[in-house]
Amino acid sequence: MMGDRLNGKVAIITGATGGIGEATARRFLDEGAHVMVTGRNPEKLAEIVERLGPSDRLSHFTADVVDEQQTKASIDATVERFGCLDIVFANAGVEGAVRPIDEQTQKDLLDVLQPNVIGVWNLLHHAIPHLKKRGGGSILITSSTAGLTGFPGVSAYCASKHAGTKQP
């Protein structure tokens, strides 16, 4: 069902090569938005764009949110392509190694914290000035029940999701 709730709005979606990212891109397009999908894998991005269908309201950019300059470049490309930025969806993230904390390494922890925490910060740091220029906007960040409680074997993931969760 086509709508117009987002007509004329411009969105960037990180982690668009996963199911949540692709479904969100489809919904945003259905609601009238212009959408920049981003991800680390150019082949997967091309597949997503093909599945979403040809549209002058859809573009893609290869970037890893862990790399601040690539993240900034993806935002700059969005603004250059569509003229502004209204919606930021920080969806990129990883679960990481699944094993007890005493069997994990600090590298395992950093491999999760980098995209799930630093990547979100990189995105917001460079996107917020564009949202301010528009007088505001929407920021969405994918979280998890792991941001509310702990689960065995995924301590790094739980820590990364707690980092961005506001508790009442």
Asked whether residue 13 carries a pLDDT value surpassing 60, the answer given is yes
Residues 91-138: pLDDT tens digits? 998 888 889 989 999 999 999 889 988 999 999 999 999 999 999 999
- Residues 85 and 130 sit within 8 Å (Cβ to Cβ): yes
Residue 97 vs residue 39, higher pLDDT: 39
Q: Is residue 150 part of a domain?
A: no
Q: Is residue 156 part of a domain?
A: no
* Number of structural domains the chain divides into: 1
CA distance 168 to 166: 7
**Which CATH number is 67's domain given?**
3.40.50.720
Q: What is the CA radius of gyration of the chain?
A: 16
Tokens for 61? 């950019």
Q: Is residue 151 part of a domain?
A: no
Q: Is residue 107 part of a domain?
A: no
- Tracing tokens 């573009």 back to the chain, one arrives at 59
Q: Say what the pLDDT of residue 150 is.
A: 66
Asked whether residue 15 carries a pLDDT value surpassing 80, the answer given is yes
Alpha-carbon torsion, ordered 28, 77, 51, 32, to 10 deg:
20
Residue 1, classed as helix, strand or coil, is coil
Expressed as residue numbers, the domain containing 14 is: 10-94+119-143
Just list the catalytic residues: 157
Tokens for 161? 């999701």
Burial of residue 119 (number of CB atoms within 10 Å: 0-12, 13-18, 19+): buried
**Mean pLDDT on 58-68:** 97
Asked whether residue 48 carries a pLDDT value surpassing 50, the answer given is yes
Residues 131-167: pLDDT tens digits? 999 999 999 988 766 555 666 676 666 666 667 555 4
Q: Say what the pLDDT of residue 168 is.
A: 45
Q: Is residue 149 part of a domain?
A: no
How high is the mean pLDDT of the chain? 90
Q: Say what the pLDDT of residue 167 is.
A: 46
